[in-house]
Structure 1
Amino acid sequence: MKEKVIAVVGPTAVGKTSLSVEIAKYFDGEIISGDSMQIYQGMDIGTAKITKEEQQSIKHYMLDIISPEQSFSVADFQQMVQKHINEISNVGKLPIIAGGTGLYIQAALYNYQFVDNKRDDFFQKKLEQEVELKGADHLYQRLKQVDPMQAQKIHPNNIRRVIRSLEVFERTGMSMSEHHANQSLTSPYEPILIGLEMDRELLYNRINYRVDQMMENGLLEEVSHLYNQGLENSQAMQAIGYKEFIPYLKGEQSIERSIELLKRNSRRYAKRQYTWFKNKMDVMWYTISPNDKNKKFSTILKDLAGMINHK
């Protein structure tokens, strides 16, 4: 029999973290973060990383595993998460993935095949030289021509990902988007996907409030520390919650504008997350609101009990 794995998915700020802890307590489980940015040390506030207190003594994986100057791919994530799923199952506990990075969770739960990970160093250096001579936007415009769908997912300053996408097209003749579309997804597990959704206006208000709380908790100091370490162009600093403050730190825009952009980008990201999970994965959705959260969590736990105990 395949091992059961629970995944709690949905947009940012909807309540995935607290639900995953309740599931772990109820079913004797352990939690794997499914967030592509919570892997980084020293990036706690901007990624809304679960605190030790919030963990309630539940063992968590995939938090603080690498430093912000290091790169980390979806393939790396898949390999590590699948290893943790097996470890948790082998000690008789229930693996629970909690997070909102759709491609990463899909890769971990299914036999997602990645383009050959071997890099073409010559091609990479050639494109890096082009960036130095003509700027990052020149390369980004080229990506928009060969793979407009992938270009939409990548920030123009994320040179590493732009180069990688162009390299895949150069080596295989297929765009990264075509490779993703051709996946035949089967799972080595029996995944049960629980999705949380919320009225859009309510969710957007929660996102705006969360950003205000992050600022009170020291987000600007966290970003400044990373920026002062020379990490402006690192993969980690392209994340929402960090990239918005770089122009402020350079004296190019006001702090108010940076906060406004963070709220806007977070709301847009929530919409993209929701669309991804609706379109790409077989999720059981539960609509929650701050007023009925506990009641809805109880319903989810009862529903899960039936599915987990079903042979």
Structure 2
Amino acid sequence: MTMSRALCRPRCTQPPKNVPSSGQRQIMRPKEKVVLVMGATGCGKTRLSIDLASCFPSEIINSDKIQVYEGLDVVTNKVTKEEQRGIPHHLLGTQNPNTEFTASDFCDMASHAIQSITDRHKLPIIVGGSNSYIEALVDKFGSRYDWCCLWVDVSMPVLHSYVAQRVDEMVDGGMVKELRPFFNPNGDYSRGIRKAIGVAEFDAYFRREACSSNETRVRLLQEAVRDVKRNTCQLACKQLGRIHRLRSVKGWNIHRVSATPVFQKRGHEANETWNSMVAQPCTSVVSQFLYNANVVSRSRVSPSLQQN
């Protein structure tokens, strides 16, 4: 997919404003800017973050509480090195899978990453489906930065169909083999990377496969895959609910863009639809945010992003 570069230009820094205080003139520097990309699992958040980072000098910070761990790249659907297009990614596959990485840990490490990125005069783009981590970060450090929140939305029936297809592709891509070393008859599925959808769901399969008939193993595998699909869809619904709460209860200014038509097409046509209905409108919002912040702040949802 080739995205229009008409709105892509190097990031600039606004000049300091002189504001009188107590009879003296003090320099107030503008806040650094941060972009958040939100949405349910499978909606295209990662794709959009890389599109934006390819357009504006940026680095990406992962805010997915499971992708932060090392391992299970297929199961957790981590972005590959090739897909990263050379864009630096932070907090992606960096943590010990047997330790617990908390929201507080994320806030501390993400804030350091943001500072490091802005010190290099680049734009931090935070992307991931763990909205509780994002909310904690904004609650803790939000006053230090200007935030632009983008929400990639896909209708649930369409997204559920895509999720089911993606799980089948993950199975074909080695999901079972990747999960096997993480099976432990006495394992704790409430800590570390073992919280990932797929680990607990395959417990019965790994526990019984050695002493089961081929027919039973096939049935157990089908049941495990079915549970992964169901729990992933439930996660998507939960993520969507949290975004609505951030918008309606906490009053976050979130710019929604509908990617539903993208998932209803295939191949080149899907890429063109993504470009016109998701990548370009979001690039416009970020461009306005970086170079003309007042345009973005006038309304909760940009009129150009109100496709259904």
- The reply to whether TM is greater than 0.5 is yes
Question: Mapping of 1:61-80 within 5 angstroms?
Answer: 61-80=90-109
What residue in structure 2 maps to residue 276 of structure 1? 242
Secondary structure in 1 aligned to 2:77?
coil
SS state at 1:111 partner? helix
How many pairs align?
238
Structure 2 unmatched ranges of 5 or more: 1-29, 210-218, 263-269, 294-308
User: For 1:87 and 1:231, how far apart are their aligned partners in 2?
Assistant: 37
Q: Secondary structure at the match of 1:209?
A: helix
1:228 deviates by 5.4
Match of 2:151 among 186, 195, 202: 195
Q: Aligned pair 1:294/2:275, yes or no?
A: yes
For the structure 1 residues 59 and 38, does the alpha-carbon distance in structure 2 shift closer, same or farther, using more than 3 Å as the test? same
Q: Which is richer in strand?
A: 2
CA RMSD of aligned residues (A): 1.8
Structure 1, 42-51 or 103-112: larger mean CA deviation: 103-112
The one of 242, 252, 265 equivalent to 2:199 is: 242
* SS of alignment partner, residue 110 of structure 1: helix
1:1-311 → structure 2 map (5 Å cutoff): 1-111=30-140, 186-227=142-183, 231-233=187-189, 234-251=191-208, 254-281=220-247, 282=252, 283-288=254-259, 289-290=261-262, 291=270, 292-296=273-277, 297-310=279-292
Deviations 1:14-56 (A, max 9, x none): 0001100010011110000010011111121111101000000
User: Whose helix fraction is larger, Structure 1's or Structure 2's?
Assistant: 1
* Paired AA for residue 110 in structure 2: V
Structure-2-length-normalised TM-score:
0.73
- Give 5+ residue unaligned stretches, structure 1: 113-185
For 2:234 and 2:222, locate their aligned partners in 1 and report how far apart those are by CA, in whole Å: 18
Q: Which amino acid aligns with 1:201?
A: P
Rounded Cα–Cα distance in structure 2 between residues aligned with 1:49 and 1:187: 31
Distance 1:261 1:305, change over 3 A: same
Normalised to the residue count of structure 1, the TM-score between the two structures is 0.73
CA distance in structure 2 between the aligned counterparts of 1:88 and 1:231, rounded to whole angstroms: 38
How far the C-alpha of 1:187 sits from its partner, in A, is 3.0
1:247 maps to a residue whose letter is A
